[in-house]
Amino acid sequence: MIYREAGQFKTSYAQDQALFPIRQDRYGMAAILATAFVLVPLFGSAFFLNTIMIPFLVLALATIGLNLLTGYAGQLSLGTGGFMGVGAYACYKLTTFFPEANILLLILTSGLFSAALGVLFGLPSLRIKGFYLVVATLASQFFLEWCFNRIPWLYNHNASGAIEVPARSAFGVVLTGPSATPLARYLAVLAVVTLLTLVASNLVRGRIGRSWMMVRDMDIAAELMGVRLLRTKLLAFAVASFYAGVAGALMVFLWLGAAEASSFTINVSFQILFMAIIGGLGSLVGSFMGAAFIWILPMDPADPDPRGTRRLRPLARGRHGRADQLHADRRSDHPDPHSRAARHGAALADRQATDANLAVPLLGQGTAIVGEAHA
């Protein structure tokens, strides 16, 4: 749309099948990589790297995985958040068993555990499709959440029920833990995302990608032409789950620093799905655009939470826990009690707390009325 490829002739199959056959595409990709690897580290602050760039890359990687499954293979899924959790917990256990291993290697290895579970939960895709497949993947999401909460071995029997990232290094550079610098973590995440994006680009351009698109367009015709549906669909689930597992491990180890089961709820699955839809199904570039639209566009430059942990922090539970936690967050966002923003935030928090306190007795009365009606 922006430029034409007229006059750029190919004289061999290798030139025609190149990753970037158009000259402008090569120049544009080189400019993007130079910006990401050179300009952002030089001029980006710690706040910018922690709050914007690292979560953007992590979410974009998870969106690429879902796009391979839904956009290219045509298999709907709502279990991305659960498979991200599998990768995070698997990486946590691997760091426990192999404390001296390269953390980047452990992060990539954790995706294999997520891929294995993805194959298991992808078995129903041979018999069901559409809405029924969505329900099946939704069941995997809730089952994995239950495992994260009910199996203490996954978080090493920690009293808090959370996984806390230990200090680990790769190639002599500390990448996890409190001593890891934002620049080192950003470059590590960028390297992993760039590598896996290149792998995904080659997958969709080859025989595997063509098989996925044939199944997506018409699975019966694809089977008549020799495509093995079970192997093709399970491979799509395995690759998508692998990407989700690696993204979950990156999210916990190189972004948040700690997490619990509530960090991988169905809301994360919906968020990744919306990123894939907004960016464009069947487009790797669209995965980055969708992640940027949902994560970067609503970002407040004055947000005092540099690690972005409040976005994934679960609200306190209890009778008035939600309102009390919201009230505490509003107060912590504005340490100056005399500022206009502080007064506005405190007033809003008080009003929401009052609404929550009034809603509880009303809910109790409604429950009593329903009980009397059944009696």
Q: What's the pTM?
A: 0.78
Spatial contact of 281 and 67, defined as CB atoms under 8 Å apart: yes
pLDDT score recorded for residue 326: 36
> Does pLDDT of 87 surpass 60?
yes
Asked if the model's pLDDT at residue 132 lies above 80, the reply is yes
pLDDT of residue 166: 87
**Least trusted range by pLDDT, from 42-46, 129-133, 285-289, 361-365:** 361-365
Burial of 8 (0-12, 13-18, 19+ CB in 10 A): exposed
Q: What pLDDT band is residue 118 in, cutting at 50, 70 and 90?
A: very high
Number of H helices, E strands in the chain: 16, 4
**DSSP state at residue 166:** P
Round the average pLDDT of the chain to a whole number and report it: 80
Which among 313, 318, 317 has a CA at the least distance from the CA of 332? Answer: 313
The DSSP string of 213-236 is HHHHH-HHHHHHTT--HHHHHHHH
Flag whether pLDDT at 342 surpasses 60. no
Distance CA 163, CA 160 (A): 9
Average pLDDT over residues 101-119: 94
Mean pLDDT confidence for 325-330: 40
* Residue 124 buriedness (CB in 10 A; 0-12 / 13-18 / 19+): middle
With tokens 């497949």, the residue in question is 133
298: pLDDT confidence band, cut at 50, 70 and 90? confident
What pLDDT sits at residue 191? Answer: 95
Find the helix or strand (DSSP H, E) in which 322 lies: helix 321-333
The confidence score (pLDDT) of residue 335 equals: 45
Q: What is the pLDDT of residue 339?
A: 45
User: How would residue 286 be classed by pLDDT, with cut points 50, 70 and 90?
Assistant: very high
* 193 has pLDDT over 80: yes
Does the pLDDT at position 80 exceed 90? yes
The residue whose two tokens read 């709820």 is 265
Could you give the CA distance from residue 221 to residue 229 in angstroms, rounded to a whole number? 11
Could you tell me what percent of the chain has a pLDDT over 90? 47
φ, ψ at 299 (rounded to 5°)? -65, 135
Tokens in use for 349? 């928090």
- Residue 258: in which H helix or E strand, if any? strand 258-259
* Residue 38: DSSP 8-state: I
Confirm or reject CATH 1.10.3470 for domain 22-296, answering yes or no. Answer: yes
139 in Cβ contact with 78 (< 8 Å):
no
Residue 341 clears pLDDT 60, i.e. is over it = no
| Average pLDDT of span 172-184 | 90
In this predicted structure, what is the pLDDT of residue 220? Answer: 87
More confident call, 132 vs 66 = 66
C-alpha distances (whole Å) from 251 to each of 43, 82, 256 are 23, 13, 6
- Separation of alpha carbons 175 and 180, rounded Å: 5
Predicted local distance difference test score (pLDDT) of residue 301 = 53
pLDDT band at 358 (very low <50, low <70, confident <90, very high): very low
Residues 6+ apart with CB under 8 A from 198: 19
Other Cβ atoms less than 10 A from the Cβ of 67: the count is 29
Question: How do residues 212-253 score in pLDDT, each as one tens digit?
Answer: 999 998 888 988 888 888 899 999 999 999 999 999 999 999
Q: Is the pLDDT of residue 196 over 50?
A: yes
Token duo for residue 260: 């619990």
Tokens 């329900």 map to which residue?
135
Which structure tokens are listed for 176? 């996890």
Q: What is the pLDDT of residues 23-49, one digit of tens each?
A: 788 888 899 999 999 999 999 889 899
Dump the DSSP string for 75-92.
---S-HHHHHHHHHHHHH
Position 1 confidence tier, pLDDT thresholds 50, 70, 90: low
Residue spans of the domains in the chain: they are 22-296, 315-374
CA distance 264 to 86: 9
Is the model's pLDDT at 65 over the cut of 90?
Answer: yes
Q: pLDDT tier at 356 (50, 70, 90 boundaries)?
A: very low
Q: Please say if the pLDDT value at position 357 is more than 90.
A: no
